[in-house]
Amino acid sequence: MKIAADQQLKAKIKILYIINQFSIPLTNQQLTDFVLKHDIMNYFLLQQYLTDLVDTSMLEYSASEDENYYIITESGKSTLELFSDRVSQSLRRTINDSIDALKKSFVIKTNITADYSKEDDNDYMVHLSVKEGIYTLMDIKVNVMSNKHAKAICDNWEKRAQYLYGDILNKLVDDTE
Domains contained in the chain, CATH given: 5-87 (1.10.10.10), 111-173 (no CATH)
Whether the predicted model's global pTM rises above the 0.75 cut: no
Residue 153 belongs to what H/E stretch? Answer: helix 147-173
DSSP letter assigned to residue 38: T
Among 48-57, 84-93, 107-116, 144-153, the least confident range:
107-116
* Residue 133: partners with Cβ closer than 8 Å, 6 or more residues away: 24, 25, 69, 107, 110
- What's the rounded mean pLDDT across residues 81-92? 91
DSSP letter assigned to residue 27: -
> Percent of the chain scored above 90 by pLDDT?
53
Cα(174)–Cα(177) distance, integer angstroms: 8
Cα(12)–Cα(40) distance, integer angstroms: 11
Angle at which helices 5-22 and 74-83 pack, to 10 degrees?
Answer: 120
Of the pLDDT bands very low, low, confident and very high (cuts 50, 70, 90), residue 133 is low
Give the three-state DSSP class for 118. Answer: strand
E strands within the chain?
A: 59-64, 67-72, 112-120, 123-132, 135-144
pLDDT score of 155 more than 90: yes
Cα(55)–Cα(70) distance, integer angstroms: 12
What is the residue-wise DSSP string for 56-87? TTSEEEEEETTEEEEEE-HHHHHHHHHHGGGS
**In one letter, which amino acid is 3?**
I
> Percent of the chain scored above 70 by pLDDT?
89
- What's the rounded mean pLDDT across residues 85-92? 90
Cα(93)–Cα(33) distance, integer angstroms: 18
**In one letter, which amino acid is 175?**
D
Cα(99)–Cα(119) distance, integer angstroms: 42
